[in-house]
């Protein structure tokens, strides 16, 4: 059973409470994502004060507005469900990796998006965030991470398969046909 009919999409407006509340409930006992220091870079859970910077980066990387439901979820549970890569010198957010619960009855978590600022790509930042996410969600009892990757996005697919994600089929539900679903089992 899903929180809403369309898988792989964060809802807009009216239906968002029926998505938000179960997400807050399922993550209520999660630990915060711990801060890890890699010299000039921190990887950590999103703090409420970083949300506006994350929204700006997200909207510059994706061709869409940040959903209202996402504002609410990551404001309240960003420290548990969203990793950010932050420059230690300036505090600038240069990458993020956001997650939510898509399904009510499983202990799987879904990756909504991973993105790195164009000036900081090919330095291993996305790989680092995803590796940290795998550790964090395993430690908090999730049994898998799912993600949808556009079949034309070779970079993202290569990185996912390197980190143990496996292709589990073609498009799911009402998703765009070019999306492929990958899963990383955590047990
Ligand atoms: C995909 C994306 C997140 C990768 O971020 P990144 O920090 O540059 O990735 P990493 O440096 O950690 O790369 C890890 C691996 O991914 C693959 N990869 C990343 N970028 C690649 C590219 N442009 N071409 C080919 N392979 C690529 C490589 O296998 C790479 O390992 P390598 O550098 O040892 O060869 C980044 O390019 C991005 O933000 N793209 C736009 C948003 C997007 O498409 N997100 C994914 C959809 S959910």
CATH architecture of the domain 13-185 equals: 3-Layer(aba) Sandwich (3.40)
Please report which confidence band the pLDDT of residue 178 belongs to, taking 50, 70 and 90 as the band edges.
Answer: confident
Determine the Cα–Cα distance for residues 181 and 172; give it in Å rounded to an integer: 7
Q: Residue 118: exposed, middle, or buried by beta-carbon count in 10 A (0-12, 13-18, 19+)?
A: exposed
Ligand 1 atom closest to Cα of residue 150: 47
* Protein residues whose CB sits closer than 6 Å to any atom of ligand 1: 61, 113-116, 121-127, 153-156, 158-159
Determine the Cα–Cα distance for residues 11 and 13; give it in Å rounded to an integer: 7
156's tokens = 């993202």
Measured by CA distance, the residue closest to atom 4 of ligand 1 is 126
Determine the Cα–Cα distance for residues 115 and 57; give it in Å rounded to an integer: 8
Ligand 1 atom closest to Cα of residue 113: 48
Mean pLDDT of the chain: 90
Ligand 1 atom closest to Cα of residue 147: 48
Name the most confidently modeled range: 8-12, 36-40, 148-152, 167-171. 36-40
Measured by CA distance, the residue closest to atom 21 of ligand 1 is 155
Whether 2 has a pLDDT exceeding 50, the answer reads no
Please report which confidence band the pLDDT of residue 171 belongs to, taking 50, 70 and 90 as the band edges.
Answer: low
Determine the Cα–Cα distance for residues 121 and 162; give it in Å rounded to an integer: 17
Question: What does the pLDDT look like over 116-142, one tens digit per residue?
Answer: 999 999 999 999 999 999 999 999 999
Q: How far does residue 51's CA lie from ligand 1's centre (Å)? A: 23
Q: How far does residue 159's CA lie from ligand 1's centre (Å)? A: 7
Q: How far does residue 14's CA lie from ligand 1's centre (Å)? A: 35
Whether 6 has a pLDDT exceeding 80, the answer reads no
Asked if 137 contacts 145 with a C-beta cutoff of 8 angstroms, the reply is yes
Whether 55 has a pLDDT exceeding 60, the answer reads yes
Q: Considering the chain, what percentage of its residues have pLDDT values greater than 90?
A: 75
Average pLDDT over residues 150-156: 88
Q: Hey, which of 99, 126, 150 would you mutate to test ligand 1's pocket, going by the most ligand atoms within 8 Å of its Cβ? A: 126
Measured by CA distance, the residue closest to atom 8 of ligand 1 is 121
Whether 7 has a pLDDT exceeding 70, the answer reads no
Question: What does the pLDDT look like over 24-52, one tens digit per residue?
Answer: 999 999 999 999 999 999 999 999 999 99
How would DSSP label each residue in 96-130? EEEEE--BSSS-EEEEEEEEE-GGGTTSSHHHHHH
Those residues with Cβ within 8 angstroms of residue 158's Cβ, 6 or more apart along the chain or in another chain? none
Please report which confidence band the pLDDT of residue 5 belongs to, taking 50, 70 and 90 as the band edges.
Answer: very low
Give domain limits for the chain: 13-185
Q: How far does residue 116's CA lie from ligand 1's centre (Å)? A: 8
Q: Residue 182: exposed, middle, or buried by beta-carbon count in 10 A (0-12, 13-18, 19+)?
A: buried
Rg of the chain in Å (alpha carbons): 15
Please report which confidence band the pLDDT of residue 172 belongs to, taking 50, 70 and 90 as the band edges.
Answer: low
Asked if 130 contacts 159 with a C-beta cutoff of 8 angstroms, the reply is yes
């Amino acid at each position: 059973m899903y929180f809403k009919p369309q898988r792989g999409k964060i809802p807009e407006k009216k239906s968002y409470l029926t998505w938000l509340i179960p997400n807050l409930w399922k993550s209520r006992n999660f630990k915060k994502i711990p801060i890890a220091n890699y010299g000039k870079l921190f990887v950590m859970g999103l703090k409420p004060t970083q949300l506006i910077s994350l929204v700006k980066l997200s909207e510059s990387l994706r061709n869409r507005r940040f959903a209202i439901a996402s504002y609410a979820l990551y404001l309240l549970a960003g420290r548990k469900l969203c990793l950010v890569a932050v420059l230690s010198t300036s505090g600038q957010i240069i990458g993020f990796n956001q997650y939510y619960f898509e399904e009510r009855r499983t202990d799987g978590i879904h990756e909504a998006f991973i993105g790195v600022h164009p000036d900081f790509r090919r330095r291993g930042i996305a790989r680092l965030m995803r590796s940290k996410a795998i550790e964090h969600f395993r430690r908090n009892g999730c049994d898998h991470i799912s993600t949808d990757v556009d079949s034309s996005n070779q970079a993202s697919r290569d990185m996912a398969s390197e980190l143990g994600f496996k292709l589990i089929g073609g498009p799911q539900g009402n998703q765009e046909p070019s999306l492929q679903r990958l899963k990383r089992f955590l047990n």
